[in-house]
Structure 1
């Protein structure tokens, strides 16, 4: 329980249903969807889609998603991969021939086919109760009439406004500049797209006018995208990958997501007595940073499209973690591993919903970098993700860019399971930070006995490309001690990540937690 003398958030408790996400309007729409007879899938779709106008720098119809689902009446968890593929004309050799060392972030070369809409349609068909038209009906007016810009959104928007070009500037800088807090922002072109999806399902997006608009707009920029690339988009089902930390199962999405990185990192940390350390002290931050360097180096070497991954079992094996843990010096920082894949970013939205039947959904949805590639379709204003920057151009690498291939993805939803029972869907936004964030959250719960809200509120540190980013919640003395250990310390301009969680108590109530680093909240009824 938190200290009521100090600023903070109390957990949100409810019995019938709950949503936790990064914007209050999306949480409200999700809970209203539950209250009018929808289930957790219907509510998650409604809330996630609405985030595309509430947080357009983070996500949108041109993006990808990953989902973990626990159906009602079952403790089994299934995973849906809603990430898109490179177009048939993608050519890593051409980029290498132009002396590119990585896929350019802000060009058509980085644009992969959006997979989220296909995933939403598939989810609704298999698990939803209301149907797409009913689910999207209350969402469309927000795109048509607009929403007030929230404080964190305005902060991110101003930081990334210079990345917008062409149609994207016209649509997302309506007055020629990033909107201020409270300004109303609308996407009427995408309201039209949503009406087509509500009426025609996936065909309303991947065929006809919308697909032609996206393909033609990319070709006009020099892209190789064809309508056939869009019509071929298809999500797929699979099993999550899992590991155990302090007796709790951590369920993560399998590759091409980076969830295996979190499991490896947790396995490494299990070799240290984290619980004996100060939760906001230098020793814990140091060991965690070293474990992250090793786990992320493995990610960069092994993870890719699932059809191209060959070392997943090795990455998840306990003996691998044991050997890596032995490389960590408790008193001295090791050099950072050079990143081979994936340009770092921190722009993603996450939503989790649990309904009265205890169906649980953990869904993460993104256009990768802030405003994606900074490009949008000419007619409907759909932002294009730059997820192709998650590929490497290294010839022969499992994650080398290739036609029809999925890039390694940073976005990962998660769930916890205890004694065979799913107890918590959760997610931590923040691009590359996400595996580290999952492990930090889990360690806060298990090693230090924090409740979910306290575990989310606690200060964060992240070893990122040779720099140890340390939030202001840490003391100057801790930062100085970490610097003495050899870490290059920096206080980041913005907070590290943002998290949401719902704990399913065995007695019957739900406990929602939401990160104050974002604008959102947990709501229940």
Structure 2
């Protein structure tokens, strides 16, 4: 009897210590954080993380390591990224003690207009084929980053990816699964030659080689950005697209330029959260956080119906603005400062009914998905937050002959509606889903992080921040915690929200919370695979060490030395 009594007391005592008003009772970390002094890398593929570490150990800096890892990911995870896609990055430079933002997204063909789609009685841009292709900005992004911050020669940085392309690597179970889902793209010329040996996608453990990609990377390494955007590679890309009925030209490729931009931020309970301005969707995360700051999130408790409801309603409000206003700032006057202001957030907060899910919302009135994410840090304090993508899985399916990669289909996200901020125009950058993030505190680096996955990304960014700031999680727990994903808000292509959408929840949210959410009018479902992929590096200034975290839902690895 005494033993039973003691056991009950211990259980109650443990519950009291760990509940924090039931804040984190549903959170179970898959592992502890990785801690290292001299450098850290976190990517979605262990071999690519090791490549980044090798670059750091041989004297390279965080930029060198990030480019090397990205090149390897384009080979090893072609379902998410590659040199046929776009890139965005945020860099903390310890020399100037400030953040730098790079927008390396490509523009639409100058000869393609909405008239083409209307003449062909098309109401939207196809998801695959030649019509959604925009200029791939990744390679130019590498060279912009390298020119400004890099230390090693590009021949050395790209050497590991070239070696793996020529000699092969074992395909992981997850990537094999996603590659097999894209096997239908074999209907496009050359796709099967690159990715489907003997007419089949590689299986788990099978050695995959892509010598054509290795050759293209060798051209880039020796000839620079011109080796990709001019000369034989550019001519091959343009000719193939035009032969298939597309519009991208050599001139479109040669005239492409990335843009250095100022990151934008909001302060969330003492932490400055940084994103890049449109044409990406990063400021949606800031809008969500601004709205949520008006509530006592910590007292709601992690996983509670109250927290999930308020978060979902904040997301809906931010995404209505996203659908209407986020677009290429070269073609629109986008009042970013107002959208991410505290005053505007208060106005939007007043639209949230604490007891009922909204079924119809409008964008506010203004006063004026597959991807990879990686992060690296070096011994001198430089930290890189980098995201890169083909957009839908393996992109458009269009595979220029002899080059070893697929071109992105990012142009699918253009609207065709006259007057829409994101309407297709010649030489315009489409609305973009991929967003890197960074957190500073008191003007010093705190955390480089990202969470890939289409419309999940700003939702995920906001949840990671609240997990750390409001719920006291460490950076691995913050990524492992059950996620919330709402779909159904209006899209940047012009599609409007007509009902409350779907609220998808991961296992770990208790039934009482789910039942309460349904009573508020939410349509709740359990679903796998829509919650994104997370990597993070945190700087501990007191102990002068890095903490690394990785995505447990993917093949990710965080490692340091």
TM-score (norm 2): 0.89
**How many residues of Structure 1 are paired with residues of Structure 2 in the alignment?**
518
Structure 2: distance between partners of 1:128 and 1:141: 21
Match 2:214 to one of 191, 194, 198:
191
Tell me by how many angstroms 1:497 deviates. 0.5
Q: 2:199 pairs with 176, 192, 201, which one? A: 176
1:58-207 equivalent positions in 2, closer than 5 A: 58-166=80-188, 167-207=190-230
Q: How big is the shift at 1:336?
A: 5.5
Asked if the contact 2:277/2:336 (under 8 Å) is kept, the reply is no
Q: How far apart are 1:7 and its partner, in Å?
A: 6.7
Residue of structure 2 aligned with 1:308, choices 331, 351, 365: 331
Specify the alignment match of 1:483 in structure 2: 518
Equivalent residue number for residue 36 of structure 1: 58
Q: Do the aligned residues in 2 keep the contact of 1:164 with 1:375 (CA within 8 Å)?
A: no
Distance in structure 2 (CA, Å) of the matches to 1:165 and 1:337: 41
Alpha-carbon distance between aligned partners in 2 of 1:498 and 1:246, rounded to the nearest angstrom: 25
Return the index of the structure with the highest Cα Rg: 2
Residue 332 (1) aligns with residue 332 (2): no
Deviation at 1:199, TM superposition (A): 0.5
* Secondary structure in structure 1 of the residue aligned to 2:479: helix
Q: Matches of 2:354 and 2:169 in 1, distance apart?
A: 49
Does structure 2 retain, via aligned residues, the 8 Å contact 1:471–1:495? Answer: no
- Do the aligned partners of 1:67 and 1:364 also contact (CA within 8 Å) in 2? yes
1:433 aligns to 2:456 (yes or no) = yes
Cα RMSD between the aligned structures? Answer: 1.8
1:492 is matched with 527
Check conservation: 1:125, 1:131, Cα contact below 8 A: no
- Distance, in Å, in 2 between the alignment partners of 1:266 and 1:278 is 16
Q: Is 2:266–2:273's contact at 8 Å kept on the other side of the alignment?
A: yes
Q: Deviations over 1:305-359 (max 9, x none)?
A: 12133232221122221111111111211116599xxxxx2x1001100100001
| CA distance in structure 2 between the partners assigned to 1:493 and 1:52 by the alignment | 24
Distance 1:97 1:284 in 2: 48
1:274 aligns with 2:310: no
- Distance in 1, matches of 2:298 and 2:360, equals 25
Tell me by how many angstroms 1:251 deviates. Answer: 0.6
Q: Look up the match of 1:472.
A: 507
After TM superposition, give the deviation of residue 254 of structure 1 in Å: 1.4
Equivalent residue runs for 1:326-365 within 5 Å: 326-335=350-359, 345=369, 347-365=370-388
SS state at 1:193 partner = helix
TM-score, structure 1 as length reference: 0.95
Change over 3 Å in CA distance of 1:174–1:478 after alignment to 2: farther
* Runs (5+) with no aligned partner, structure 2: 1-17, 19-23, 364-368, 489-500
